[in-house]
C-alpha cells in the first residue's frame, strides 16, 4: 500500500507542469480514494488480528481449564463369554455313573458338534511369550484383538427352523417346483469355523423317486440334494456341510423341491405333490468368540447388535437415589434402543450392583459419580475423586459437560457404557448425544466429553415417517418400501408373480371420506394372453379394482384409476398390485413357460385423498400406533410419572413403555420426560399426555380410577359401574386410558395393578407384539395362565377389554369440513332445518310484500 502512495506522489510531481494542471483534481481524487481504502483495510486487518488473538486466548484458556489425559496404551476390549445359546435343545439325561472307578459320563448334547476343522499350524500355534517391544519382535497389525478370533475351543450353536414365525408346525412345499426361504444373520462376535444344515422332512408317497428331489441352497449356492424316495411318508433327514465362507452377515436358506408323480406328464395342481420340512430342522454352527475393541465409532455395537441371533440384553445400574433427571435420561436412552431394535427382541432389567450383571448382558450406567458410586470400582480413562470426574490436571470437569466412557467389568466379560457428568445437566447432555442419530455419528474413541449438543426442533404434529404424507396429492415415490427407502419402479416376472406391496399407512387421526382415488401407472410385456391376463389392485387383501391386459404386444405406462374405500384405509393398511399373467402359447404338459411375462409398477403412480383430521379419544386401539403419545414423533408431549419412591417393578415398566414408544416412532431425537410424583408440576399436567405407573396404593394419579367406570379400590376390591367385588389374590394388570382431568385435548394412561405381580403382566403386554396389538376399548385387564407364558401362545394370556365412557372427538379440520361432518352425523337435522329455513323465508317475503302494498296505497 505504501508503494502505491509513493508511485502516485511521484507521478503527481512529474505531472506538475503547466500543461498538466487540469489533471490535478483527478490525481487528488485518486489519492483520497486509495487513502480511504488503505484505512479500511488496515482497520479490517486490525479487527481480524484482534479476533484471532481473542480466539487463541479462549482456546488457551479452555486448554488450561480442561486437560484430557493421553490415551492409555490400549482401548478396553470386550471378550464375549462362550456360552451356548438358550435355544439349544435340552440334552437327554445322562446315564447313571458306574459304581466302579469309571469316569463320570459326559452330558450328551442333542447334536454332537462337529470336530474343529484342521487349521494351518500358524493359526493354531500359541503366540510367543515375548513382549511386542522386545528386540526382534515384529508386531503384526492383523493380529490385534479386533482382527482375529480368540484362541481356544469352538462353541456350538443350534438355530432351529421353528424360531422363524413363518414356519409354525411345518414348512409346506406344494407343486411341481416349489421353494421356501428362511433368513438368518451371523453375529459380529463370531469367527465361524464350521456350519451344517440338518433338514428333516416327509413327503407324499405318490412322488417318483427318480424324478423328485429336495435341494438346499445357502445364499444361492447349492450345498446338497436328496431324493424324495421315502415310502409311506416316513420321516427322512439329511445333514449337509456348508462352507463357512458362504455365511455372510445376512443369509438365506432356500429349500427347493422338484416333485413329479408321473413319468410323462405331471399336473401342477395335483394335491399329492407335497413335501413338508419339519420345524425341528436346524442350522448347526461352530464358532470362536472374537474379542471386540470398544469404540464409539461402532456405537451402538456391542450394546445393541442388529445381527444377533439372540435377544439383545441390556442391564441398567440403579443409582443410589432415583430422581426425575435419572428417570428422564433412562427413558430417553431406552426409547432410542427401541428405535434401533425395531422388530428385534430386546430384554431389559435393572440391578443394584455390578456383580449382579450376567455375562451375556450389556451394562449401562447413567448418573453422576455421587449417584453411581460403583464408577470408582471401574477402570476408567478419567479419574474420579470427591464424587467428581477429573481431567489430567486433577481439575473437576465443568458440571454442564457430558462425559461418555466405555469400559469392561468381570475380566473384560461385560461391556459397560457410562453416561455421566459432574451435574444433572451434563448427564442429560451425554445421553442426548447418544439418542440423536446425527450427533452420535461424529463419536470416536472410548471416552468423549460432550460440550454441546445440537438442538433439534420438534417435527410437525402430523409428520410421521413411514405413514402417508400430510398433503392429499402425492406420488408413490414419496412412500417408503419395506427397506424404509423411497419407492422405485418394481418389476415382477412369471405367471405366478408375487404382488407388488405398498405400505399405505394412514395417520392415526385421519378420517377418510368418499372420493379418494389411486391412479395406477403400470407397464407389461408382450406375449400375454389378453383373455386371461389382468392387473388387480387390492387393499389389505380385498380387491378394489382391476383391468384386463388387452395388448399382445405389451403396453408402456398404461393407467388404471381405482377408488379407495374410505372405511378400509387404516394405520396398518397395505396396497397390493397383482399381475395375473398368462402366456399366449398353451401350457406344455402342465408346465408354463412364463419367463417372458413381466409387469411393472411405476413410481409416479399418484394418489388423491379426501380426508379430515378427526380422532376419537380415549381409544387404546390407537396406542398400537403410539397415538397420541407419539404425536409429534420426538415424544415431546409425553410425560411418564412414577411414585415418589418407585420400586424396581415400577422402573421396569417405565423402561418397557419407553421402549415401545421408541419402536413406534421415528425422529432425529427423543424428548420424552419422566418425573417422580413429588416433582410433577401443574404446568406439566396441563401441557403433556400423562402416563402413570405404579400399584394402586402408590399410583400417582388416583383421578384415573373414579366412581364411573372400572376402578381399583382398597382391600383388593374392584368396581365396574354399580358392581363391586373383592378378589384375593388379584394378580391382574390394568391398562386404562381416560381424558386428562387437566386438559381436554390430552389423555391420561394408567399402567397399574393391585400388586407388583399384576404390574409385571402389564410389562409382558408392552413387551410382546401379539398381545400389544390386540389392545381395544379404553380399559384392558391382563392375566397369565402360567408362570412363563409366551405371547405367541393364544391360550397363555387372558385379555378382557372394557369400554367405560363415551369418547370425545378431537377435530382439527377446517370449518367447512366441520359443518359437512356435522350434517353427516346429524342428518335428521337437515329436513328440519330446511323446513325452518323455508318458513322463515316465507315470513320475510310476506312482510316485504305487505310493506310494498302499503307504499303503493
| Residue 552 contacts residue 527 (beta carbons within 8 Å) | yes
Which pLDDT belongs to residue 170?
83
In this structure, is residue 74 part of a structural domain? no
The per-residue pLDDT for range 141-163, each reduced to its tens digit, is 444 444 444 456 789 999 999 88
User: How far is C-alpha 151 from the geometric centre of its chain's CA atoms?
Assistant: 36
Q: Tell whether 164 and 264 lie within a shared domain.
A: yes
Q: What number is the average pLDDT over the span 473-497? A: 90
> Running DSSP on this structure, what letter comes out for residue 298?
S
Q: Tell whether 637 and 773 lie within a shared domain.
A: yes
Which pLDDT belongs to residue 91?
40
Provide the percentage of residues in the chain whose pLDDT is more than 90: 57
Angle among Cα 66, 70, 75 to the nearest 5 degrees reads: 120
**What's the pTM value of the predicted model, to 2 decimals?**
0.81
Q: Tell whether 576 and 495 lie within a shared domain.
A: yes
Q: Tell whether 608 and 549 lie within a shared domain.
A: yes
Least confident residue range of 120-124, 601-605, 792-796 = 120-124
Q: Tally DSSP H helices, then E strands, for the chain.
A: 11, 43
Start-to-end CA distance of the chain, whole Å, equals 102
Which pLDDT belongs to residue 780?
93
- Reading the block at residue 786, the C-alpha cell is 402360567
Which pLDDT belongs to residue 80?
80
Which pLDDT belongs to residue 819?
60
- Reading the block at residue 769, the C-alpha cell is 407384539
Which pLDDT belongs to residue 562?
96
- Whole domain around residue 757: which residue ranges? 619-806
Least confident residue range of 72-86, 407-421, 589-603, 717-731 = 72-86
Q: Which residues pair with 242 in a beta bridge?
A: 195
In this model, does residue 58 exceed pLDDT 60? no
Q: Tell whether 542 and 444 lie within a shared domain.
A: no
100 phi and psi, to 5 degrees? Answer: -75, -170
In this model, does residue 364 exceed pLDDT 50? yes
Q: Tell whether 700 and 795 lie within a shared domain.
A: yes
Please choose, from the candidates 763, 759, 628, 641, the residue with its C-alpha nearest in 3D space to the C-alpha of residue 702. Answer: 641
Q: Tell whether 260 and 308 lie within a shared domain.
A: no
Sheet arrangement for strand 213-218: 177-185, 250-258, 213-218, 221-227
In this model, does residue 34 exceed pLDDT 70? no
In this structure, is residue 337 part of a structural domain? yes
Q: What number is the average pLDDT over the span 193-217? A: 94
Q: What number is the average pLDDT over the span 553-565? A: 94
> Running DSSP on this structure, what letter comes out for residue 764?
H
Least confident residue range of 186-195, 274-283, 463-472, 848-857 = 848-857
- How do strand 171-174 and strand 177-185 relate by DSSP bridges? unpaired
Out of 20, 42, 65, a domain closes at: 65
CATH number at residue 589: 2.60.120.260
In this model, does residue 48 exceed pLDDT 90? no
- Reading the block at residue 464, the C-alpha cell is 410421521
Mean pLDDT score of the chain:
82
- Give the count of domains, the chain: 6
Following CA atoms 47, 51, 54, 56 in sequence, which dihedral angle do they give, to the nearest 10 degrees? -130
Q: Tell whether 780 and 830 lie within a shared domain.
A: no
Return d(Cα 402, Cα 395) in angstroms, integer.
Answer: 15
The per-residue pLDDT for range 663-718, each reduced to its tens digit, is 999 999 999 999 999 999 999 999 999 999 999 989 999 888 875 678 787 766 77
Q: What number is the average pLDDT over the span 831-843? A: 82
> Per DSSP, which regions of 29-150 are E strands?
77-78
Reading phi first (left if > 0) and then psi (alpha if -120 to 50, else beta), residue 72 is in beta
Banded pLDDT at 167 (limits 50, 70, 90): confident
| Residue 433 contacts residue 443 (beta carbons within 8 Å) | yes
In this structure, is residue 78 part of a structural domain? no
Out of 257, 289, 321, a domain closes at: 289
In this model, does residue 45 exceed pLDDT 50? no
The per-residue pLDDT for range 739-749, each reduced to its tens digit, is 999 998 999 99
The larger pLDDT score, comparing residue 140 to residue 609, is at: 609
Please choose, from the candidates 259, 277, 266, the residue with its C-alpha nearest in 3D space to the C-alpha of residue 207. Answer: 259
In this structure, is residue 813 part of a structural domain? no
Q: Tell whether 588 and 699 lie within a shared domain.
A: no
User: How far is C-alpha 149 from the geometric centre of its chain's CA atoms?
Assistant: 31
In this structure, is residue 139 part of a structural domain? no
Which pLDDT belongs to residue 69?
62
Out of 393, 419, 450, a domain closes at: 450
In this model, does residue 100 exceed pLDDT 60? no
Q: Tell whether 575 and 623 lie within a shared domain.
A: no
The per-residue pLDDT for range 107-139, each reduced to its tens digit, is 333 333 334 433 333 333 333 333 333 333 344
Secondary structure of 216-272 in HEC code, one letter for each residue = EEECCEEEEEEECCCCCCCCEEEEEEECHHHCCCEEEEEEEEECCCCCCCCCCCCCC
> Per DSSP, which regions of 358-489 are E strands?
362-366, 384-385, 388-389, 402-409, 414-421, 447-450, 473-475
Which pLDDT belongs to residue 730?
80
In this structure, is residue 468 part of a structural domain? no
Q: Tell whether 630 and 763 lie within a shared domain.
A: yes
In this model, does residue 496 exceed pLDDT 90? no
Q: Tell whether 305 and 283 lie within a shared domain.
A: no
User: How far is C-alpha 670 from the geometric centre of its chain's CA atoms?
Assistant: 13
CATH number at residue 396: 3.30.379.10
Which pLDDT belongs to residue 827?
61
In this structure, is residue 211 part of a structural domain? yes
* In the block, residue with C-alpha cell 486448554: 63
In this structure, is residue 762 part of a structural domain? yes
Angle among Cα 478, 483, 489 to the nearest 5 degrees reads: 50
Provide the percentage of residues in the chain whose pLDDT is more than 70: 78
Which pLDDT belongs to residue 857?
65
The per-residue pLDDT for range 236-293, each reduced to its tens digit, is 999 999 999 999 999 999 999 999 998 888 888 889 999 999 999 999 999 999 888 9
Amino acid at each position: 500500500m505504501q508503494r502505491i502512495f509513493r508511485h502516485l506522489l511521484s507521478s503527481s510531481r512529474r505531472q506538475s507542469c503547466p500543461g498538466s494542471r487540469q489533471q490535478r483534481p483527478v490525481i487528488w481524487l485518486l489519492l483520497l480514494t486509495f487513502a480511504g481504502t488503505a484505512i479500511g483495510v488496515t482497520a479490517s486487518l486490525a479487527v481480524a488480528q484482534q479476533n484471532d488473538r481473542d480466539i487463541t486466548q479462549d482456546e488457551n484458556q479452555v486448554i488450561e481449564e480442561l486437560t484430557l489425559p493421553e490415551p492409555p496404551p490400549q482401548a478396553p476390549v470386550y471378550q464375549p463369554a462362550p456360552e451356548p445359546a438358550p435355544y439349544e435343545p435340552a440334552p437327554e439325561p445322562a446315564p447313571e455313573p458306574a459304581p466302579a472307578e469309571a469316569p463320570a459320563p459326559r452330558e450328551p448334547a442333542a447334536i454332537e458338534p462337529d470336530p474343529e476343522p484342521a487349521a494351518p499350524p500358524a493359526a493354531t500355534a500359541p503366540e510367543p511369550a515375548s513382549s511386542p517391544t522386545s528386540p526382534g519382535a515384529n508386531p503384526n497389525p492383523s493380529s490385534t484383538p479386533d482382527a482375529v478370533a480368540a484362541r481356544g475351543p469352538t462353541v456350538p450353536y443350534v438355530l432351529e427352523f421353528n424360531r422363524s414365525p413363518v414356519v409354525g408346525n411345518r414348512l409346506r412345499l406344494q407343486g411341481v417346483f416349489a421353494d421356501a426361504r428362511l433368513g438368518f444373520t451371523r453375529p459380529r462376535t463370531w469367527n465361524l469355523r464350521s456350519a451344517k444344515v440338518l433338514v428333516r422332512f416327509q413327503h407324499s408317497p405318490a412322488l417318483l423317486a427318480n424324478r423328485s428331489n429336495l435341494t438346499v441352497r445357502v445364499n444361492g449356492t447349492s450345498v446338497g440334494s436328496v431324493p424324495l424316495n421315502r415310502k409311506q411318508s416316513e420321516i427322512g433327514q439329511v445333514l449337509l456341510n456348508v462352507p463357512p465362507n458362504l455365511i455372510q452377515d445376512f443369509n438365506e436358506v432356500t429349500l427347493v423341491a422338484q416333485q413329479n408323480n408321473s413319468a410323462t406328464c405331471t399336473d401342477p395342481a395335483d394335491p399329492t405333490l407335497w413335501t413338508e420340512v419339519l420345524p425341528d430342522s436346524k442350522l448347526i454352527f461352530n464358532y470362536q468368540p472374537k474379542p471386540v475393541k470398544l469404540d464409539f465409532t461402532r456405537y451402538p455395537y456391542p450394546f445393541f447388535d442388529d445381527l444377533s441371533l439372540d435377544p439383545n440384553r441390556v442391564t441398567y445400574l440403579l443409582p443410589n437415589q432415583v430422581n426425575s433427571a435419572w428417570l428422564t435420561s433412562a427413558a430417553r436412552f431406552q426409547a432410542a434402543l427401541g428405535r434401533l431394535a425395531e422388530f428385534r427382541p430386546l430384554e431389559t432389567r435393572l440391578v443394584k450392583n455390578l456383580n449382579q450383571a450376567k455375562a451375556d448382558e450389556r451394562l449401562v450406567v447413567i448418573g453422576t459419580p455421587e449417584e453411581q458410586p460403583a464408577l470408582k470400582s471401574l477402570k476408567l480413562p478419567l479419574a474420579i475423586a470427591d464424587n467428581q470426574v477429573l481431567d489430567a490436571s486433577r481439575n473437576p470437569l465443568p458440571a454442564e459437560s457430558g462425559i461418555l466412557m466405555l469400559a469392561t467389568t468381570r475380566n473384560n466379560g461385560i461391556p459397560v457404557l457410562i453416561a455421566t457428568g459432574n451435574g444433572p445437566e451434563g448427564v442429560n447432555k451425554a445421553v442426548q448425544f447418544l439418542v440423536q442419530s446425527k450427533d452420535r455419528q461424529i463419536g470416536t474413541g472410548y471416552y468423549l466429553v460432550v460440550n454441546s449438543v445440537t438442538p433439534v426442533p420438534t417435527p410437525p404434529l402430523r409428520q410421521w415417517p413411514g405413514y402417508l404424507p400430510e398433503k392429499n396429492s402425492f406420488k408413490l415415490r414419496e412412500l417408503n418400501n419395506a427397506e424404509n427407502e423411497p419407492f422405485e419402479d418394481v418389476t415382477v416376472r412369471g405367471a405366478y408373480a408375487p404382488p407388488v406391496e405398498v405400505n399405505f399407512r394412514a395417520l392415526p387421526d385421519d378420517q377418510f371420506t368418499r372420493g379418494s382415488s389411486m391412479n395406477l401407472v403400470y407397464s407389461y410385456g408382450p406375449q400375454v394372453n389378453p383373455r386371461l391376463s389382468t392387473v388387480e389392485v387390492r387393499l389389505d387383501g380385498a380387491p378394489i379394482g382391476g383391468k384386463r391386459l388387452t395388448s399382445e404386444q405389451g403396453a408402456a405406462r398404461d393407467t388404471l384409476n381405482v377408488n379407495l374405500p374410505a372405511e378400509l384405509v387404516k394405520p396398518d393398511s397395505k396396497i397390493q398390485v397383482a399381475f395375473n399373467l398368462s402366456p399366449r402359447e398353451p401350457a406344455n404338459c402342465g408346465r408354463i413357460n412364463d419367463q417372458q411375462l413381466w409387469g411393472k409398477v411405476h413410481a409416479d403412480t399418484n394418489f388423491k385423498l379426501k380426508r379430515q383430521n378427526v380422532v376419537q379419544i380415549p381409544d387404546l386401539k390407537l396406542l398400537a400406533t403410539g397415538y397420541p403419545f407419539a404425536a409429534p414423533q420426538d415424544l415431546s408431549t409425553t410425560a411418564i410419572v412414577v411414585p415418589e419412591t418407585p420400586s424396581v417393578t415400577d422402573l421396569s415398566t417405565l423402561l418397557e413403555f419407553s421402549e415401545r414408544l421408541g419402536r413406534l416412532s421415528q425422529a432425529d431425537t427423543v424428548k420424552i420426560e419422566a418425573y417422580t410424583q413429588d416433582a410433577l408440576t401443574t404446568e406439566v399436567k396441563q401441557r403433556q399426555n400423562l402416563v402413570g405407573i405404579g400399584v394402586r396404593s402408590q399410583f400417582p394419579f388416583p383421578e384415573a380410577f373414579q366412581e364411573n367406570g372400572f376402578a381399583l379400590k382398597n382391600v383388593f376390591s374392584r368396581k365396574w359401574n354399580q358392581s363391586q367385588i373383592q378378589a384375593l389374590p388379584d394378580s391382574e394388570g390394568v391398562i386404562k386410558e381416560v381424558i386428562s382431568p387437566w386438559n381436554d385435548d390430552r389423555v391420561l394412561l394408567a399402567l397399574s395393578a393391585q400388586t407388583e405381580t399384576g404390574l409385571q403382566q402389564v410389562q409382558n403386554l408392552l413387551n410382546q407384539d401379539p398381545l400389544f396389538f390386540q389392545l381395544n376399548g379404553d380399559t384392558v385387564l391382563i392375566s397369565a395362565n402360567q408362570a412363563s407364558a409366551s405371547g405367541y401362545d393364544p391360550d397363555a394370556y387372558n385379555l378382557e377389554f372394557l369400554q367405560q365412557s363415551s369418547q370425545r372427538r378431537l377435530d382439527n379440520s377446517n370449518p367447512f369440513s366441520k359443518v359437512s361432518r356435522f350434517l353427516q352425523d346429524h342428518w335428521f337435522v337437515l329436513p328440519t332445518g330446511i323446513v325452518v329455513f323455508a318458513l322463515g323465508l316465507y315470513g320475510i317475503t310476506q312482510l316485504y310484500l305487505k310493506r310494498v302494498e302499503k307504499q303503493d296505497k
